[in-house]
Structure 1
Amino acid sequence: MASVVLRASKGHVLAIWAGHPWVYAQAVLHVDGRPADGDIVDVLDEHNQLLGCGFYSSRSALAVRMLARRPAETIDDAFFHDAVSRAVHRRQRLMGLPSDHTTGYRLVHAEGDGLPGFVADRLGDVIAVQFTSLGMKRREHIVLDALGELLRPRAIVEIPDEELQRLEGFESNRLPVRGKYEPPACFEESGLAYAVDPLSGQKTGFYFDQRENRRLLARLVRGQRVLDLCCYVGAFSVTCAKAGAAEVDGVDTSAQALLAAQRHAEHAGVSDRVRFLRDDARRFLEQAARAQKTWDVVILDPPKYARRTGDVDKALKSKYLPLNRAALRVVSPGGLLVTCSCSGRVRPDQFLRTVGLAAAEARRSTRVLALRGAGPDHPVPPAFAEGQYLKCVFLEVD
């Protein structure tokens, strides 16, 4: 087997020893052998001590995505099948998923479940999968067969991430890969019914990472007026209305997502208290501020603005800062701002500092009530800070 030898730097080696799942290209001293992209290679320190093995890539900033760390572990078809099985049973055993009230959730979470570059979401009897590493794509038949065997879904559909796949040197299409798929995919979250089409939506069709944050917010909104910015298919909006919010305004730029949001509100029996509007969040906020309109609770959950480390400063200054400043200006005194960032490259301290600057510029006094992340169906290794991508801040606003 070919091998990748790391530079004689305590930081590079210690990170892998601690369980970080990525070997960055700049940490590589040299490559022994001629591995093809997607091959499994050994990872060694400068003394040729084995640190583990993983998928190799000559094209990506991630030279190796770690798979295993035990010398005797065999990486064969059974290894990948067992990893899928453990992911399924982990959610059943530790999280009670699926349950009578929740049948949509993250089923496999890449590095957190030992399958780097592979995620799978369960949407009732449909599974949506995404491959972002060539190593996993080359072994897709193993994991797809395992999902089919373990869960017997009606269909499995693949959702490409074109940018990441291009960096890894492969392409895939948005299409069914197992079974016969007819939209929509129907599931429940906390007793609320949703119907989405993963082949025409964002990501895998639904943002399951916010489930626990929606459950917390539901406890805080009874009798409140709520504004849900970047509402997508209305999960926050419908959750708040069902929990007793007096009225909810949902704003998004996608007409298709808003049609789904309206259907979800109607199915939940709350369409009389929820209004959806197609508009840009920042433009909507500026117009609301001029009209001196305010809400008791404002939710701001924008898309990923920083995909690379080099994008972070610009995203903080030109996106997160003005958006949060504008959002803070329309929160009623004593109200709540729930503001989020799903950009893994943005650290929690950077995001909090930016929110603090936005509060200062908006001349609002704030305090953090909670800093939360994704739910437990999105596990991460302890040393993998980059994997803790979601920041969801509950902020009291005076």
Structure 2
Amino acid sequence: MSESIEYPALYLKRGEDARLRAGHLWVFSNEIDVARSPLGEFAPGDVVAIVDHRGKAIGVGYVNPNSLIAARLVVRGLEHPFDRSLIVHRLNIALALRQQLYAEPYYRLVFGESDGLPGLTLDRFGDVVVGQITTAGMERQKDAITDAIVKVLAPRQVWWKNDAGIRAMEQLPMYADLGHGEYGGEVVAKEGGLVFGVDPVGGQKTGWFYDQRENRDGLARFVTGKRVLDMFSYLGGWGIRAGAYGAREVDCVDASAAAVEATARNIERNGLANRVKALRADAFDHLKALREARERYDVVILDPPAFIKRRKDFKEGSLAYRRLNELGMQVLARDGILVTCSCSHHMPRQALLDGVQQGARHLDRQVQMLVSLQQGPDHPVHPAIPETDYLKGYILRVLPA
């Protein structure tokens, strides 16, 4: 092995470097040659040189001996250390893309592996940045990341929303706190000419779902003058935008009391109380009640949380998606529009469509697929990392058989 390597070496077994050389960034624990580099000798988050079985360096990454994904590659080759300067460089590259895409500073700034910073998510809300760290390696770099954000963006606040369930797999604590700046002041997302209040501590994920923005941008031609039902509405992203596009009536439904209250505030803030309302209810129960009451909507939007978090949950989760879409179709008016989405990486795009089709046939309906939906370009897909291609959806027309 070259003497120029400054970090401890993490040796891979013979042939286990192929996926990394093809572009992926993950190393699984069973791919490591533990005889040459015992995992027990590393602390969670240690920076390492990842090398193949011949001792040829692939690059610099970080290790966590307690995780199934035991290491992640951050930089190829050994010319650049994993430090604040590298993070500043990656942030500037990520920022250049978002500034090209969007006129205002409201977007996902860093999308983990796709932006060369595995384990890190950053969302920008004007002069506020909300971050989420999911790996021990990035947790060890938190201060350097905060410094890099301040250097590149000079934000008013940097919040850390480090309470994602995946952190448990890395044996990391759950917390949310202010990493930079002073407490106070409002945090908002701007989208489609509207303003949405965001809670960087109590909200879901990092507070807002920018990944659906471009999909919501395409609602206008389907909702103008229509009655719209927005299920799993969270802060009202779909429903309030439908109201702004001229829907005559919109019901935003969510099971969370806090989300419903926040949606009501967002409805008022955007001057849409005359046509949009927020309701608290369980999605499946509410759809069944609407069906029994013979209520009908011209457009039904289904954007649920992930029903399939692990591969072994696929059968049960895919059935839940089918049941949800069947219920959605049962409250659609004749020739209605169904918008259905899945953010489950383990739910293939075709499987989602197949479930809709099966549900349609069970109801003696016919479905026309009009638009295929995916995550926005501020969530770029890494071609070598299928896990980064997670959001899929469809806009469909539902007809009598």
1:44 to 42, 46, 51: 51
1:189 matched to 2:205: no
Shift of 1:212: 0.4
Q: 1:356 is paired with a residue of what secondary structure?
A: helix
Measure, in 2, the Cα distance between the counterparts of 1:89 and 1:157.
Answer: 22
**Separation of aligned partners in 2, 1:219 and 1:147:** 39
Q: CA deviation at 1:241?
A: 0.6
For the residue of structure 1 that corresponds to 2:73, the secondary structure is strand
Partner secondary structure for residue 89 of structure 2: helix
**Matched position secondary structure for 1:365:** strand
Distance verdict in 2 for CA 1:48–1:201, change over 3 Å: same
Q: Equivalent residues in 2 for 1:146-295 (5 A)? A: 146-295=148-297
- Secondary structure of 1:219's match? helix
Matches within 5 A, 1:332-371: 332-371=333-372
- Counterparts of 1:144 and 1:116 in 2: how far apart (Å)? 16
> 1:162, CA displacement in angstroms?
4.2
1:384 is matched by which residue type in structure 2?
Answer: I
| Residue 7 of structure 1: how far off its partner (Å) | 4.2
Alpha-carbon displacement from aligned partner over 1:361-384 (angstroms, at most 9, x marks no partner)? 232211222222111111131111
Matches of residues 318-333 of structure 1 in structure 2 within 5 Å?
319-333=320-334
**TM-aligned CA distance change 1:13 to 1:328, over 3 Å:** farther
Secondary structure in structure 1 of the residue aligned to 2:287: helix
The gaps in structure 2 that reach 5 residues or longer are: 1-6
Q: Alpha-carbon deviations, 1:146-205, whole Å to 9, x = none?
A: 111222222111112342222112214211111112253023112101112111111111
Change (3 A) 1:107 1:262: same
- The Cα of 1:272 is off from its aligned counterpart by 0.6
Native 8 Å contact 2:163 2:175 kept in 1: no
1:103–1:189 CA contact under 8 A, matched in 2: no
Structure 1 stretch displaced more, 381-390 or 16-25: 16-25
1:57 aligned to which of 64, 88, 103: 64
Instruction: Answer whether contact 1:85 1:146 (CA < 8 A) is retained.
Output: no
Q: How many Å separate the matches in 2 of 1:195 and 1:204?
A: 13
Q: What are the superposed Cα offsets for residues 28-85 of structure 1, whole Å, 9 maximum, x if unpaired? A: 3435253222112233344444333322121222122221223433333311221122
Are residues 1:112 and 2:114 paired? yes
Rounded Cα–Cα distance in structure 1 between residues aligned with 2:108 and 2:79: 30
Moved more, 274-283 or 62-71: 62-71
Aligned counterparts of 1:187 and 1:162: Cα–Cα separation in 2:
21
Q: Which amino acid aligns with 2:19?
A: A
Q: CA 1:161–1:312 in structure 2 vs 1: closer, same or farther (change >3 Å)?
A: farther
CA distance in 2, matches of 1:254, 1:381: 33
Cα distance 1:177–1:89, how it changes in 2: closer, same or farther (>3 A)?
Answer: same
Q: Given residue 212 of structure 1, which amino acid in structure 2 is its aligned partner?
A: E
Match of 2:4 in 1: none
**Kindly, what percent of the aligned residue pairs are identical?**
36
Q: How many pairs align?
A: 390
* Amino acid of the structure 2 residue aligned with 1:290: E
Structure 2 CA distance for aligned equivalents of residues 328 and 24 of structure 1:
42
- Does structure 1 residue 394 correspond to structure 2 residue 395? yes
Shift of 1:109: 1.1
SS of the residue corresponding to residue 51 of structure 1 reads strand
Letter in 2 for 1:363: D
Alpha-carbon distance in structure 2 between the residues aligned to 1:172 and 1:213: 32
- Confirm or deny that 1:24 pairs with 2:25: no
The aligned runs of 1:296-307 (5 Å cut-off) are 296-307=298-309
Q: Partner letter of residue 291 of structure 1?
A: A
Distance (whole Å) between structure 2 residues aligned to residue 55 and residue 161 of structure 1? 21
Determine the structure 2 residue equivalent to 1:68.
75
Work out whether residues 265 and 274 of structure 1, in 8 Å CA contact, stay in contact via their aligned partners in 2. Answer: yes
Mark the CA change 1:126 to 1:304 in structure 2 (over 3 Å): closer, same or farther. same
Instruction: State the TM-score, normalized to the length of structure 2.
Output: 0.92
> TM-score normalised to the size of structure 1?
0.92
Structure 1 runs (4+) greater than 6 angstroms displaced: none
Report whether the alignment pairs 1:15 with 2:19: yes
What is the CA–CA distance in structure 2 between the aligned matches of 1:234 and 1:301, rounded to whole Å?
11
Question: Is residue 9 of structure 2 the alignment partner of residue 3 of structure 1?
Answer: yes
Partner of 1:90: 97
Superimposed CA distance per residue, residues 332-389 of structure 1 (whole angstroms, 9 cap, x where no aligned partner): 2222111111112222222222222222223221122222211111113111111111
Q: Deviations over 1:244-270 (max 9, x none)?
A: 111111110111111111121122221
8 Å CA contact 1:157–1:178 kept in 2: the answer is yes
Residues 284-336 of structure 1 deviation map (CA, whole Å, 9 limit, x = unaligned): 1111111221111110011122222222222112x212111111111222221
